[in-house]
Structure 1
């Protein structure tokens, strides 16, 4: 049975329609995201910042989709994009840049932390990130507020959890200011504080075993 896709605001403009029908329901919300990105290239840029509602309830990416469902693509509301998030989906630099950009902020500095393919002489198969998500988001917001006050910048930080392959982004940070110097300093301060204070852990998985980083072999 077909499913109905509803588009709103910027998502509607990117898709070029307010609604469409898919003849077969993808198995999950994550698979739906991939299908929509392939069908609508202009939508791919903003879809990572959109929430998806299934039958008028927001659904996580691992939620299954039933035949006949009504699915809504919901862009960030007018209050602005969330700035401090822990998510289980691929990251995009645009989401943090958009969150801090604005008139008068001529210097935007970003940091992307990606998974390395080698560590301590071993080939890294993947990294597995785990978080105490509610506390981690609160700590990210605290760090952002403190760095913003100290350097006079706008800050956004998004961290990913789950299994990540080499090359995939684990964290993206953006700092925006009137000039470049405070933005550079603020970005560096954010990543240093994040490593110290935010309850996010990672396990390096090798061909011959694994280790939780910080706890030794």
Structure 2
């Protein structure tokens, strides 16, 4: 008997999801066993030519970890196409979001700076540096109405933890906590809050800056900016 063809489910986010009109693609594997990420890209482009141009700008995650082009993918694994961060969200989150990691939190409720400060304060901390990223009213010469954030939630929490723990390892004695919001944000609301403590102020400042810079590069959170003239997918953080 011939075996049933195996399929992969590929998760889509932000602008890619909006253009495809779905949050996931079901794709039969081109051959038995595993396929490489590079081959999977070609197969997606052939099956969905309207997405082909965008695929070149996407990273691929397998089981919530970024992988190289020669990595192998098998049926049953969780595959996601990750557009450049940040991007956006085309409506409210499907269900309430509140995920916590070892050093991080992702939620759709208003953020509290005091919460991340409390997570890093201790008797040996001579300095505590914080960063708060708020939704601003004007951007790129236009008046912003609101922002929409979405996330590949479990991977976002894992990456925020990875970044925070990595920064702590670079700055001995530092402690880091980060929280990011998803969903609909009005002008003045906070999208991200970060706190970093250390024995001295210089290490605290440097640790806090390192976290926000890396968060904008590697955490799968996207935002859509809605202004008085329409909407746009934004490639930088808050």
TM bin (shorter chain): 0.5 to 0.7
Match of 2:139 in 1: 119
DSSP 3-state at the match of 1:214:
coil
Distance, in Å, in 2 between the alignment partners of 1:182 and 1:189 is 10
Deviation at 1:83, TM superposition (A): 2.9
Structure 1 residues 198, 61: closer, same or farther in 2, change over 3 A? Answer: closer
Match of 1:161 in 2: 182
Gaps of 5+ in 2: 1-94
Q: Is the 8 A contact 2:104 2:157 kept in 1?
A: yes
1:198 aligns with 2:219: yes
Distance, in Å, in 1 between the alignment partners of 2:179 and 2:225 is 20
Deviation at 1:207, TM superposition (A): 1.6
Number of aligned positions between the proteins:
139
DSSP 3-state at the match of 2:145:
strand
DSSP 3-state at the match of 1:188:
helix
Pairing of 1:16-27 with structure 2 (within 5 A): none
Deviation at 1:214, TM superposition (A): 2.3
Deviation at 1:82, TM superposition (A): 5.6
Normalising by structure 2, we get a TM-score of 0.56
CA RMSD of aligned residues (A): 2.0
- Any idea what the Cα deviations from partners look like across 1:1-29, whole Å, max 9, x if unmatched? xxxxxxxxxxxxxxxxxxxxxxxxxxxxx
Deviation at 1:194, TM superposition (A): 0.3
- Give the one of 172, 175, 180 matched to 2:196: 175
- Any idea what the Cα deviations from partners look like across 1:87-140, whole Å, max 9, x if unmatched? 100011100000011111110000000001011110000010000010000000
1:100 aligns with 2:120: yes
Gaps of 5+ in 1: 1-59, 63-80
